[in-house]
Amino acid sequence: MKKLYLLLLAACATLFASAQKIAPFKAGDRIAFVGNSITDGGHYHSYIWLYYMTHLPNTRITCYNVGIGGDAINQIYDRFDDDVFSKKPNVLTLTWGMNDSGYFEWYRADAKDVMAKKLENSYKYYALVEEKLKQHADIRKIYILGSPYDDASKFNNKNLYPGKRAFFSNLIDFQEQAAKKNGYGYVDFFHPMTAINQREQAKDSTYSLTPNDRIHPDNDGHLVMAYLFLKTQGLDNQPVAEIGVNAQSKTVSKSVNCLVSNVVANADSVSFNYLANSLPYPLDTIPRAWGNRKPQSDALKVIPFTKEFNQEILSVKGLKGSDYDVLIDGEQMGRWSAKQLADGVNMAEITTTPQYQQAIQIRELNEERWEIERRFRNYNWIQFDFLKEKGLLHKDNNAAMDSVKKYSRTNPFVNGNKDNYSRARYKSLRDAWQKEMDVLIDEIYAINKPKNHRITVIAAK
């Protein structure tokens, strides 16, 4: 078992190391994340944006959730003009295939024939999507090889669709080749997340990054996805800051991504000013979104996110005593030995620092924005996956509302979106929601600039 674990760990490391690179986003980019329910109800795009909000506070970008639950590639194609290009993106990510690879069809006696026809249809519509993308040379395209369907975990015996895993894997291979053929960037969620599942299941057979239904990642899975995306952008191993101070010589030995100045020291303390260029990434410790049970921070158990993306190292050498208190702006943050401080303490793991508290506010504002944006995605589900086929797309009149009410009695998906649609069909409310999101985003970029702090390291009494 140990040998198997080591082999899986090595395979996972190889997958991460061999991933191709795509350019990071730049200031002013408008990124449309196009996909199905994993995008629609998920957080990976929001977590990516939160990294930019905190680590690159002067690189203002705009991210759009353009996912709709249940969509296969033909449905994505049908809404491209109205729902995707209307956002005026200059960067577009596309992920698809989970719904194209079927569910209950796999229980049929003629499953292979049914799925062969389904695949033919998917490839036809993908070709139409590709043609649309080729007509927009001004948009940078990034394909996302989607998160895996996990039929191996033993957490229950539900949602086991024989044949789906291999079929979906083949679709992922097709998407990778399509990206390479067209010279598009791509980010691979599928293979690294599969490797993590296999590695962890070797220790715990009930483990899964999709622990609720084998299909939708929980919050920890979405941080894994954000981690893989940011890593593919080459943003790993860029510290929040690295501070090095020598208490004896009263000098600054290191100041990476920050400014350290005005060093003052005496027999039992050293203090200095600290102004970083970034804020720590504020990991969420509570589950978010309907149906999820895991917090974002659970991902730290399976990926080295803190090591690669959240290092704010304080190192103080030349201390002669034993234990020292660290204060920021006069408030105690903790107590460490002289050796620990000489080796370096990661302040990004201390949630009470003023810079971490500043970052938490950004996270919560971003979550508010995410919640409002979900109303728009539920509204668009009604539009494109229900009203369009009835000739009522964007009508938002009494006939549309009556149709929603009628079918909500027998269609659980319509029923689940009925109340939201009863409000969202009014343009005045949608305009108000958009203004709310704009205010939240403006506030984020108003308060996300790091502040100057006074750090004091003083002998403990």
Token pair belonging to 292: 């999820």
Pick from 56, 65, 54: nearest CA to 30: 65
Q: Is the pLDDT of residue 316 over 90?
A: yes
The predicted pLDDT at position 20 comes to 77
> What 8-state DSSP symbol labels residue 59?
-
- The Cα 268–Cα 263 span in angstroms is 14
* C-alpha torsion angle, residues 404, 407, 413, 414 (rounded to 10): 0
- The Cα 188–Cα 22 span in angstroms is 11
Indicate the pLDDT class of residue 5, thresholds 50, 70 and 90. very low
Residues with Cβ < 8 Å from 277, sequence gap 6 or more?
A: 57, 241, 257, 258, 450
Are the C-beta atoms of residues 250 and 270 closer than 8 Å to each other?
A: yes
The predicted pLDDT at position 19 comes to 54
Residues of the chain with CATH 2.60.40: 241-356+449-459
- For residues 331-351, give the mean pLDDT: 98
For all residues of the chain together, what is the average pLDDT? Answer: 95
Are the C-beta atoms of residues 87 and 30 closer than 8 Å to each other?
A: yes
Sign for the pseudo-dihedral over CA of 194, 196, 202, 206 = negative
| H or E stretch covering 190 | helix 190-201
Residues with Cβ < 8 Å from 6, sequence gap 6 or more?
A: none
Are the C-beta atoms of residues 35 and 229 closer than 8 Å to each other?
A: no
Rg (CA), the chain: 25
Half-sphere exposure (CA, 13 Å, Cβ side) for 214?
Answer: 19
Residues of the chain with CATH 3.40.50.1110: 2-232
Residue 295's DSSP bridge partners are: 287
Q: Is the pLDDT of residue 10 over 90?
A: no
Note if the pTM is more than 0.85: yes
The SS3 assignment for 127 reads: helix
The predicted pLDDT at position 7 comes to 46
- The Cα 59–Cα 72 span in angstroms is 33
Indicate the pLDDT class of residue 152, thresholds 50, 70 and 90. very high
* Residue pLDDT, tens place only, 380-405: 999 999 999 999 999 999 999 999 99
Q: Is the pLDDT of residue 14 over 90?
A: no
| H or E stretch covering 133 | helix 111-134
- The Cα 164–Cα 217 span in angstroms is 17
- The Cα 260–Cα 262 span in angstroms is 7
- For residues 233-259, give the mean pLDDT: 97
- The Cα 341–Cα 235 span in angstroms is 27
- For residues 251-271, give the mean pLDDT: 97
Q: Is the pLDDT of residue 3 over 80?
A: no
Pick from 51, 7, 45, 19: nearest CA to 192: 19
The predicted pLDDT at position 391 comes to 97
Please report, rounded to a whole number, the percentage of residues in the chain having pLDDT higher than 90: 94
- For residues 220-224, give the mean pLDDT: 98
Q: What CATH number is given for 2-232 in this structure?
A: 3.40.50.1110
| H or E stretch covering 447 | helix 427-447
Q: What are phi and psi of 291, to 5 degrees?
A: 85, -10
Q: What CATH number is given for 241-356+449-459 in this structure?
A: 2.60.40
